[in-house]
Chains A and B, each alone.
Chain A
Amino acid sequence: MLELRGLSRYFGGVRAVDALDLRVAGGEIFGLIGPNGSGKSTTVNLVTGLFAPSAGQILFEGADIAKLPTHARLAHGIARTFQNIRLFGQLTVWQNLWVAQNSAEDRARKGFFARWLGGQRDARAEILPLLEFSGLAHKQDELASNLAFGEQRRLEVARALATRPRLLLLDEPAAGMNSEEIGQLRERILKIRERGVTVLLVEHVMELVMGVTDRIAVLNFGQKIAEGTPAEIQADPLVRKAYLGGEAA
């Protein structure tokens, strides 16, 4: 589904991502982990087009998307959330999902005028199931900036789902959550997969990554140092060294 070939991004002399090869299969929950500054977020920004790659290819369903602008990649079916939540604070909860209805299906299904100048009534009915899925239906008319932290995180995922993605990139969705919330997040990620969405999960919180992913790749200094199932990764001496900084156990 998603394939990175020799993907690199340099910032001056720093190789934030260095010749990264990665292959995420359709229907998978793929984990991307690594210490701080190892290039995980840069990879997400490269895949979604916020940064242009210095070298390499990004193939999505066989087509090279490395030169497409961000909004066009979304129409191909790639959506994301942000590590530091970025909602539209002056819009209400349901409007945050409304403005995200930019998928190719939405474009094909509705006419230009219905899509841009259409009123809220039909749109609300479409959006409500997503809000229910995220447990936010009772807050739909609240301003997004007035939500609690956990609700904001859920809204951001819901907004990404409103774009009807086939690949969803979650950038540290568990940051700042307690263990109960992490459990709920885990359930929700599994349900997202059931909707037919492939998930690329960038995360620090091992409790989540090890419990939910099918396969994991580990980055360190922009390079992939290991790849495998959660069990294989946990046993990998190189990974332990990168995380613990000491001698491999």
Chain B
Amino acid sequence: MDFYFGLIQIIGVHTLLGLSAYVILLTGQLSIAQAAFYAIGAYVSAMLTVLWGWHIVPALFAGAAMGAFFATLVGFPALRVRGLMLVIATLAFGEGVRLFFFNFDYQIQKGNVKVGPLGPEGFRQIRYFPENGWTTFDVMLFVWVFVILVMALIWWVDRSRYGAVLRAVGDDELAAQSVGINLTAVKVSAMTVGGGIAGLAGCLYAHYTTHIEHLGFGVLQSVFAVAYPIIGGMASVFGTLFAVIFVQGILVEGLRFLGDWRNLLFGALIIVAMVVRPTGFLDALMLKRFARWFALGRERA
């Protein structure tokens, strides 16, 4: 059973990672730096709980705040460039952060062992959950509390004027400027929110996996982060959730019995999914259809 709880944790954290990219994608920006904010959140919160004995909840918020802070810093210069240049700039930042953690040593003596990040070895023994007697099931619930909170938050933002403004900027920057929208403020704020969510995901990841190292925060993670909302469809946050379940639940775990053939089929299935649903699993049309079914059901009842 723990295997499934573990899988549900992974789905939860990857959903957060996907949502962090979703917010930024709404403004039409493609950021390949999400893994960097994810790494910052992971390292910061793990250091707080392991080295300085913080409780997990303030450590989570601190990690998310650091992710948001660095995203703002990257946002200002990076958003002066657009399109492909932004992809390159955020890619460079992401790799820079990964290499920073590759070289980052900060260990202190605790009892008779040294704990803390140790360069390429990574950061071992992030044992907050086992030390405090949390079971895998407890951790899974904890992760999903935050997943549901963040999903609800973004779902609500999507219906606010701010959400409409994000999409307006994504649609046509020139027109958005011409109706009085401050492009820099909107894009940097989206980047900040995205960075905060990625930082939060990193905190949760660091604590359930107990061992983090720079390899877990490479370009591939950033690509996954933007792939989820794109595969899932940008019409709603649920698209991202479906895409994560499809990729992590069905493709990665469900096809494990295929052995070496899995990776081949994995790529092929993603391509098939995109051909079948070019605007993502959940597009505006699909949502409308759901809404109609829902309305019909209510009328009959």
User: A residues within 8 Å of B by Cβ?
Assistant: 48, 50, 69-71, 74-75, 79-80, 82, 86-91, 95-96, 98-103, 115-120, 123, 143, 159-160, 162-163
- State whether A50 touches B174 (Cβ < 8 A): yes
8 shortest A-B CB distances, which residue pairs? A102-B180, A74-B180, A100-B179, A86-B175, A88-B171, A70-B177, A116-B162, A99-B168
Partner of A119, one of B159, B168, B171: B159
Verify A120–B284 contact, CB threshold 8 A. no
Q: Are A100 and B180 in contact (CB under 8 A)?
A: yes
Q: Are B159 and A160 in touch, CB under 8 angstroms? A: no
Jot down 21 A-B pairs with beta carbons below 8 A, ordered by A: A48-B178, A70-B178, A71-B180, A71-B183, A80-B178, A82-B175, A87-B171, A89-B171, A89-B172, A90-B170, A96-B168, A98-B164, A99-B165, A100-B179, A102-B180, A116-B161, A117-B157, A117-B162, A120-B159, A159-B179, A162-B179
A100 CA to B164 CA in the complex, in Å?
10
- Chain A residues with CB under 8 Å of B187's CB are none
Could you tell me the distance in whole angstroms from the C-beta of A121 to the nearest C-beta in chain B?
11
Contact B181 A123, beta carbon cutoff 8 Å: no
Contact B167–A90 (Cβ < 8 Å): yes
How distant is B179 from chain A, measured CB to nearest CB, in Å?
4
Residues of B within 8 A of A75 (CB): 180
Whether A118 touches B160, Cβ cut-off 8 Å, given contacts A71-B183, A89-B171, A91-B168, is yes
Chain B contacts for A118, CB-based, 8 A:
160-161
**Is residue B176 within 8 Å, beta carbon to beta carbon, of the partner chain?**
yes
Given A71-B180, A79-B179, A88-B171, A99-B160 contact (CB < 8 Å): no
Contact status B178-A88, CB under 8 Å: no
Alpha-carbon distance A70/B178, docked complex (angstroms): 6
Kindly state the separation between the CA atoms of A115 and B176 in the bound complex, as whole angstroms.
16
Is there contact, CB below 8 Å, between B161 and A88?
A: no
* Complex CA distance for A69 and B174, rounded to whole angstroms: 12
Chain B interface mostly: helix
Instruction: Bin chain B's interface residue count.
Output: 20 to 34
Question: Which A residues lie within 8 Å of B159 (CB)?
Answer: 119-120
Chain A residues with CB under 8 A of B176: 88, 99
Interface centre among B176, B179, B181 (most CB of A within 10 A): B179
Q: A69-B182, A88-B176, A120-B159 provided; 6 other pairs, C-beta below 8 A?
A: A88-B167, A91-B167, A99-B164, A99-B165, A100-B180, A123-B161
Whole-angstrom CA separation of A79 from B176 in the bound complex:
12
Instruction: Name the B residues within 8 Å of A163 (CB-CB).
Output: 179-180
Given contacts A118-B161, A119-B160, contact A103 B174 (CB under 8 A): no
Cα(A88)–Cα(B178), bound, Å: 12
- Shortest beta-carbon distance, B282 to chain A, in Å? 14
Cβ-closest chain B residue relative to A74:
B180
Tell me the chain B residues, 152-206 only, with Cβ under 8 Å from chain A: 157, 159-162, 164-165, 167-168, 170-172, 174-183
Nearest CB on B from A114, distance (A): 9
Q: Do the beta carbons of B164 and A91 come within 8 Å of each other? A: yes
Cα distance A123–B162 when bound, in Å? 13
Q: CA of A71 to CA of B174 in the docked complex: distance in angstroms?
A: 10
Residues of A within 8 A of B171 (CB): 87-91
Cα of A243 to Cα of B37 in the assembled complex, Å: 60
* Residue of A69, A88, A120 touching B168 (CB-CB under 8 A): A88
Give the residues in chain B near A91, CB-CB below 8 Å: 164, 167-168, 171
**Cα–Cα, bound, A43→B66 (Å):** 45
Within the assembled complex, what's the spacing in Å between the Cα atoms of A95 and B164? 7
Chain B residue numbers with a CB within 8 Å of A102 are 179-181
Chain B residues whose C-beta falls within 8 Å of the C-beta of A87 in the assembled complex:
171-172, 175
